[in-house]
A and B are shown apart, each in its own frame.
Chain A
Amino acid sequence: MAEIYLKKLAHSYLPNPQKPEDYALKEIDQVWEDGKAYALLGSSGCGKSTLLNIISGLLTPSQGQVLFDGKDVTHLPTEQRQIAQVFQFPVVYDTMTVYDNLAFPLRNRKQDEATIKARVTEIAGMLELSADLKKKARGLTADAKQKISLGRGLVRQDVAAILFDEPLTVIDPHLKWLLRMQLKELHQRLNRTMIYVTHDQTEALTFADQVVVMYDGYVVQIGTPQELFERPEHTFVGYFIGSPGMNLLPVKLDGSIAHIDGTSIPLNTDYQPKSGAKLELGIRPEFTQLSPTASANSLPVTIKRIEDIGRHKIARAEYQGKEINVVVPEDQSVSKDYKYLTLDPNNIHVYADGWRLKQEAAA
């Protein structure tokens, strides 16, 4: 178990990186606490696998250091770091039994058979693999194989962190949910640091204590699922997390008044954006409301269509050619005649060039 300190870490696949665009992973400086579950969330090519490979030691970063509990492991090879990894596709040793698979990492480290037996039995029990111990690993289902991969990490007592690289990709949907619950439970029981790479927000949000959202090589936000929902620090977080994602509208700011194509909306606070920055107003569909009558500061919209998804309805509205999604609670009615949209001022965020503006007046 260990705390992971990513010290001024950045990576470029080019030999002589100059511009920020040359970096696959832009500089980060973070401490990941011991025993917590972290999820690296982002779309393909955002740098999450790069970061994972740096932590696991498959890649040496072009700058900065990785420290496990204060010990610099930047240049240590994978096998000398105390990590375990579960890959996208199940990796098992085909010719071995489940027992031998689980015992393999311990045998390689020359532990005695009695210790190995105790350890393997314990972990197999935890993973509900006890009945399969004598079977050949290759005959098992994909989810059992993934459990074996995980088990090979768990049997070692010295593991500082367990890394997961989109481990549920090849698992059937109904088993995904089950396996995710088991993982979460294991994490709570074992209290080991876990790092989980995924592009599925549901997976990230249900599994992790802290979600690390990555976009274009930047770590755009680290926070609890609630923080990501309520206060997205970047427009990417707003739109990537939540279903549907955050509505973004281009605005002009005038102190604490936002102008959206002729409609003025009062904001709670004063913003002082840099001049020339591209300004956007962001609001989650959950904090917008449609009504049939105009009220102060409401936006006149046209409703394109209404989708009933059971728990609530989603209205796809349009304002001056910009699409706005509205979540309508189940108990409220809505129709195409609901032409006025009001925004909850407490949940409006303003973004300059993608990044959330701090509420300077409030501070």
Chain B
Amino acid sequence: MNKTWNNKAWWMVLPVVLLVAFSAVIPLMTVVNYSVQDTFGNNQFFWAGLQWFEEIVNSERFHDALGRQFLFSAIILAIEIPLGIFVAMNMPNKGWTASLCLVLMSLPLLIPWNVVGTIWQIFGRVDIGLLGATAEKLGIDYNYTRDIGDAWFTVVIMDVWHWTSLVALLCYAGLQSIPQAYYQAARIDGASKWAIFRYIQLPKMRGVLLIAVLLRFMDSFMIYTEPFVVTGGGPGNATTFLSIDLVKMAIGQFDLGPAAAFSLVYFLIILLLSWVFYTVMTNLDKQER
């Protein structure tokens, strides 16, 4: 068959190229641009090579923030995933109570990040907050502005409060899709509750759990607003996660070069981790077959 070659067809791709260029490539490239240049003001820039990257990658400040970030993500995943599964398994599966539960579970997801931060900021205050004041009355020493442990506790609990619903709702959807025949077969086979969970519910939730873990990991790794509103990264630098540190550097200190290098390294870390994560999970899936 004779195909007619017409290179004019490339013009059809132009709108997409433009869209991607203006929404992603050009903004990203300006960051790249800053990351390899230095300035002494007056909008005069000169080439700095990989200096900023070397500085960031070797800086203790970055290492600390990265460490805090991993710790935070690990803690909230370790709490939210099992808790979400547990909640989903104990939700009613039909009737008006099921609808009520679904609505109540969705509520935290609908609250803007800023508001969540403010709610917890006030909730934890020792003078007027329900949590803080009650703890004070009970004689428990709790103060998230002073104590590192208390600050972490507040930030973690806040994230769990905000996002466990998402995991629970995803798991709930996964559980609902299991046909009744599986449960009947398991009863006939004399399976215990644990065996039903281990061999039916967990394998069937695998897909949604993969999504839940990925979403929660990426999201928590990029967390900014809530801890910023509650603790402002303190006390000291105790809750200064990567995003908070980046903003401090870029906007607070106006160190555009290092901040740009920071951004790129940060971006690459998230990209790499997500890719590793996804590959490992899907490969596990293939091995099972």
Contact = CB atoms under 8 A, between A and B. Distances in A.
B272 interface: no
B288 A95 contact: yes
B184 A58 contact: yes
A250 interface: no
Interface in B158-216: 179, 181-182, 184-185, 187-192, 195, 199-200, 203-204
A135 B34 CA distance: 55
Contacts of B289: 136, 138-139
Contact of B184 (A78, A93, A104, A152): A78
A229 to B, nearest CB: 34
B288 A105 contact: no
**Chain A contact residues (Cβ within 8 angstroms of B): what range?**
20 to 34
Interface stretch (A81-89, A178-186, A268-276, A288-296): A81-89
A95 B201 CA distance: 11
Residue among A85, A93, A104, A105 with max Cβ neighbours from chain B (10 Å)? A93
Contacts of B190: 79, 105, 108-109
A345 interface: no
A295 to B, nearest CB: 58
Given A78-B187, A105-B190, A91 B182 contact: yes
Contacts of A85: 184-185, 188
Contacts of B191: 104, 108
A150 B212 CA distance: 35
A153 B188 CA distance: 9
Contacts of A139: 289
A270 to B, nearest CB: 52
A198 interface: no
B184 A87 contact: yes
Interface in B252-289: 288-289
A95 B199 contact: yes
Contacts of A138: 288-289
Contacts of B184: 56, 58, 78, 85, 87
Contacts of A78: 184, 187-188
A77 interface: yes
Contacts of B182: 91
B185 A79 contact: no
Contacts of A306: none
B49 to A, nearest CB: 52
A85 B203 CA distance: 22
A78 B190 CA distance: 9
A286 to B, nearest CB: 40
A149 interface: yes
Given A136-B288, A138-B288, A89 B179 contact: yes
Interface of A: 56, 58, 77-79, 83-85, 87-89, 91, 93-96, 104-105, 108-109, 136, 138-139, 149, 152-153
Given A85-B184, A149-B185, 19 more contacts: A56-B184, A77-B187, A78-B187, A79-B187, A79-B188, A87-B184, A89-B179, A91-B182, A93-B203, A95-B199, A104-B189, A105-B189, A108-B189, A108-B190, A108-B191, A109-B190, A152-B185, A152-B189, A153-B188
22 contacts: A78-B187, A79-B188, A85-B184, A85-B185, A87-B181, A91-B182, A91-B185, A94-B203, A94-B204, A95-B203, A95-B288, A104-B195, A104-B199, A105-B190, A108-B190, A108-B191, A108-B195, A138-B288, A138-B289, A139-B289, A152-B189, A153-B188
Instruction: List the 7 closest A-B pairs by CB distance, nearest first.
Output: A108-B190, A87-B181, A105-B189, A91-B185, A139-B289, A93-B199, A95-B203
